[in-house]
Homo-oligomer: A and B are copies of this chain.
């Protein structure tokens, strides 16, 4: 049975980079991978085309898809929208929530060919391979009540950081299972010395750990985690945390590698349906110039094949092709340095295709 893949290029560099990833998907299809591709609009592109960052036909197509490949959303032209429910980010958040993509997997891996690019000392980051598991459909991103209102003659803004036991348990089990497949170390990050919601988080992680006796569970406060990622990132294997802390720590961890243009991500729901996107954003400042790095998006396709389509062999072929291209010294501007060959977005995509 053919699997439906929905491509959502989005905004900024999104269209350029997804175009390169689609080349790979099409090559795989022509070699026998049974997939059907379609395209939709989301984010600022959705707003421009249909007046909403998550148009109804996009949402319907997303629900019907086996997997989604998303480029990136956002740009300065939409930041002035007074009604924040129309901003590009809402399209992304809406997809996550509507499809219940609660498990966000964000690997931070240092490619040996790119060790130079890190701002950290080589001995601190060489061989780095962390998996951050971020809860993606709860926490302060979606908590009610929220808003800005007038109280005692002045404006007050408020949001609610909330998690239920079952939400915590669900992401916790995903993280424990991930740790079982890796080095069997799980670090749960919270602020249990201050926030009640994360005290519950810690309690639930403790409770379910009994079901994973082969995994070593530890707890760390978020401020300490932010420090330890800088001091000694290789102490981590799998990290699990809530939506907001995960947003911050996964970006910090990604930047340790110096090559955020290389890092894919997966957002999964309970039935394995997933949305795949590069960790970097829409980079409006370089959009349309053909210099963006398509590798994070291409590697997101590999994650898609592995996690949603159960096609690990195809995933490995893609990852191998990326390795070959890096070995050949090809680099987009963000990862280029003296002695390497600087290439454009499409040259990079073509090179991966050739090595595929």
Contact = CB atoms under 8 A, between A and B. Distances in A.
B231 A251 contact: no
Interface in A218-239: 222-224, 226-232
Given A155-B164, A193-B87, A247 B232 contact: no
A38 interface: no
A63 B231 CA distance: 37
A222 B247 contact: yes
B163 A157 contact: yes
A141 interface: yes
A158 B158 CA distance: 13
B89 A193 contact: yes
Contacts of A250: 223
Interface in A185-210: 191, 193-201
Given A141-B194, A196-B146, A232 B119 contact: yes
Contacts of A113: none
A247 B120 CA distance: 22
B230 A119 contact: yes
A162 interface: yes
B230 A249 contact: no
Nearest to A228: B255
A260 B93 CA distance: 37
Interface of A: 74, 84, 87, 89, 93, 119-121, 124, 140-141, 143, 146-148, 151, 154-166, 191, 193-201, 222-224, 226-232, 244-245, 247-252, 254-256, 258, 260
